[in-house]
Structure 1
């Protein structure tokens, strides 16, 4: 007699969530690939981090995007060359350099967010309202727990 335990049930659930989430991830990435200029997911994460924390320093940005400091510096070089990001000296500590989005960078991130919202709205509009509510409740709970994880 072979009974599936709680770990087996969680493994099966993780498999099912992975399969179901593929559609959401695909939609998310397709909208990013339609952006101009076309940016990698790492570049988009860097722009989003700079938008959420204007003046973020390179060390913190590296942590936010999961890259080493040299890689984050090269990433910022490319974003700066594209006119999306600029380095700014900290007024209180001239050795400290903060990163801020340019006007073009803000327009890029805002446009991408708007395209993503429209794409999500289109898909959500074809779902029953009860399923939309359950999806949102589940995603909120997932996000709350995921944010507390130590990677």
Structure 2
């Protein structure tokens, strides 16, 4: 790995470079992250698109939701969310559950098969990230980790531990079936 040039008197330091280098680095990293997910999806041979996988992840973390809630979380039109969840239901990855309080309300929950797909893809992604981090161990200073954590928080992502706590809660749900 190539060392970064140091800031000398005639070189602007990172603190004076403005946001563009960070934006460029994050654009590059985001392509890498999407690639990791796409490869993990392909490896588990799930008949699921990337947007559908995102919907499965939302259900895995948040639990039973209405189609409109999923659409809002994914920032897509409600009709797009409905079509997406209809396809996931047809594949047996989610199931519809009527509210006991209001029969007009239909919520979606992961089936065991949907849960298993998310679990397998996340395990593959984690293994690949561990490999990449090991190969780039020299750059993982506390400041880099803190910056990425702050970035994820600003983007509305929950910390890994909270994600897995929600995941485990819904994984052990006795009503979740195929």
Task: State the TM bucket, normalised to the shorter chain.
Answer: 0.7 to 0.9
TM-score, normalising length from structure 1?
A: 0.82
Runs of 4+ in 1 over 6 A off after TM superposition: none
Matched, 1:122 2:131: yes
**Change in 2 beyond 3 A, CA 1:114/1:86:** same
Paired with 1:40 and 1:8, the residues of 2 have a C-alpha distance of 38
Task: Find 1:52's aligned residue among 46, 55, 61.
Answer: 61
Q: 1:146 aligns with which of 124, 131, 155?
A: 155
Q: Give the aligned partner of residue 64 of structure 1.
A: 73
CA distance in structure 1 between the partners assigned to 2:84 and 2:16 by the alignment:
40
Cα drift, residue 25 of structure 1: 3.2
1:94-133 alignment to 2 at 5 Å? 94-128=103-137, 131=140, 133=142
Q: Name the structure 2 match of 1:30.
A: 39
Instruction: Measure how far apart 1:24 and its partner are.
Output: 3.3
Higher helix share: 1
Pair 7,93 (structure 1): closer, same or farther in 2 beyond 3 Å? farther
Q: Deviations over 1:18-61 (max 9, x none)?
A: 23443333223321232322321210111111112222011111
Distance 1:24 1:54 in 2: 24
The answer (yes or no) to whether the contact 2:37–2:121 under 8 Å persists in 1 is no
Question: What is the aligned partner in structure 2 of residue 93 from structure 1?
Answer: 102
Moved more, 66-75 or 26-35: 26-35
Q: Do the aligned partners of residues 97 and 113 (structure 1) sit closer, same or farther apart at CA in structure 2, a change above 3 Å counting?
A: same
The answer for unaligned runs of 5 or more in structure 2 is 1-11, 158-178
Q: SS where residue 19 of structure 2 aligns?
A: helix
Q: CA RMSD in A?
A: 2.4
Distance across 1 between alignment mates of 2:57 and 2:102: 24
Q: Size of the alignment, in residue pairs?
A: 144
